[in-house]
Amino acid sequence: MPHLLHIDASARPGIAGTDNHGSHSRHLTDQFVRQWQSGHPQATVTYRDIGQNPPSIINHDWIASAFTPEERQEPWMKEALAESDQLVDELIAADIVVIGTPLYNFGMPAALKAWIDQVVRAGRTVEFDDSNPIDPYVPKLIDRERHVVVLVARGGVNMSPGEEMAHMNHLEPHLTTALQFMGITRIHYIAIEGQEVGGELLAASIAEAVGKVEVLVDELQMAFRDAPIPEPA
């Protein structure tokens, strides 16, 4: 049975359509997880609300610890990496990672960037091959196929790849680069646009995104039904 890691990065704690000033990205992740569990009542889900409880920003101690071989780490180094280890363990355990995130000022929220910084780890999610100075990076999360579903809320419009305002959207390219760097290549994006415009444009975008989530859940459930999930090493 596939295991889900559900991450919400919006600073808004509520759900749009239910709570006043609620989050549209949380609306989509809630729909995805509920629909997934309705089809798989025994499905397991780990939930991280990084919008309300952001991961720590990496500092000098974190860097010194992360780049010290494990056998040489002092007790304070292991403590400095404890949060990162837990977040990495959650990512490794997941078959599907569902990330709900707004687009803030052309990129990802600081909380999501902090999560990325905590899980992109030498020795845990990526290795360095000293024999290849041109491209020394070796992704480690290739032991099995993982999917990441990124459910985005944007204030503006026409910001998807190839559209007129795509040059102002650095969230998806940044997130894709980080995930692929670790070895996760099955990435799905669905976005709600026009929150700043509102009205019929926003309503139509919400309806379209909700429909796409429904289709994607069905497609992924079918894919995992046809491909048994190997046990983690």
Q: Is 10 annotated as a binding residue?
A: yes
Structure tokens, 199 = 């009205």
∠ Cα 18 26 57 (to 5°):
135
Annotated ligand binding at 27? The verdict is: no
Closest CA to 149 of 207, 101, 198: 101
Q: Is 131 annotated as a binding residue?
A: no
Closest CA to 67 of 50, 84, 55: 84
Q: Flag whether 170 is marked binding.
A: no
d(CA 183, CA 140): 6
Q: Which residue has the tokens 């780049």?
A: 67
The strand order across the sheet containing 3-8 reads: 44-49, 3-8, 96-102, 147-153, 186-192
Binding residues, by number, are: 10, 23-25
Binding residues for FMN, by number, are: 10, 23-25
